[in-house]
Chains A and B, each alone.
Chain A
């Protein structure tokens, strides 16, 4: 079957436990996920939601696998834009693997269809979110407060 997949890998100087907590703590998440956060119990079968700063549910689904602090699999369906929602369920896998003094975080986001618009859209977001998360864990502050800094600079 045709499939669209994006893979993102970053190495973060931290421990798997701290990284797991950064990926699952709603308050901490807002600092690197541009104000968004997840609502979830983080156990297999529990519902999962990605919520915007204004409380809008952007994506929803459930936890397929949760194995702290190693592996998390989310069934992920977009809720906001009709063309993305129509593509159905995608699957986001997060794997944490210690490498020396760092943790290799691999995120694989895929959907069982060719040329997915959803996967294309998330592919712009994930690198920024992960880069922010890395800076936050390693230096204590996120680099980007705004996902589109150039656009803001032009508007200002």
Chain B
């Protein structure tokens, strides 16, 4: 495996599909599921789900563990945390400050 799993393009492309986001939601609700269990919740062929899981795994959003003959899928929240720090936290701060200032103004009068 020589691809760069930390590539943000892979991450954003992986998130840009509703079925893949649904898979992430399913894993968030109940982690450690097999392919068969995930297929039950999606109106899609087994092969289609396998492909989507492959994209999510390449973006490091899904990690797999083998337990006996089963392959279990886990949501990996680390790349989402990195998006949060890189793309969300810094834009959120000015807004929080604006709200805090507003509260202070309103409560003063």
- Closest CB in chain A relative to B27 CB, distance in Å: 10
How distant is the Cα of A11 from the Cα of B10 in the complex, in angstroms?
Answer: 14
Could you say which of B6, B32, B76, B97 contacts A153, with CB atoms under 8 Å apart?
Answer: B97
Chain B: residues with Cβ within 8 Å of the partner, total of 26
How distant is the Cα of A100 from the Cα of B4 in the complex, in angstroms?
Answer: 9
Is there contact, CB below 8 Å, between A99 and B1?
yes
Interface digits, B1-14 against A, CB 8 Å rule (1 contact, 0 not)? 11011100000000
Is B42's beta carbon under 8 Å from chain A? no
Is A78's beta carbon under 8 Å from chain B? no
Interface digits, B64-75 against A, CB 8 Å rule (1 contact, 0 not)? 010000000010
Is there contact, CB below 8 Å, between B78 and A131?
yes
**What residues of chain A lie closer than 8 Å to B81, measured between beta carbons?**
127-128, 130-131
**Can you list 16 A-B contacts (CB < 8 A)?**
A5-B65, A6-B31, A7-B65, A10-B78, A11-B4, A11-B5, A99-B1, A99-B5, A100-B2, A102-B4, A104-B5, A108-B65, A127-B80, A131-B81, A149-B93, A150-B89
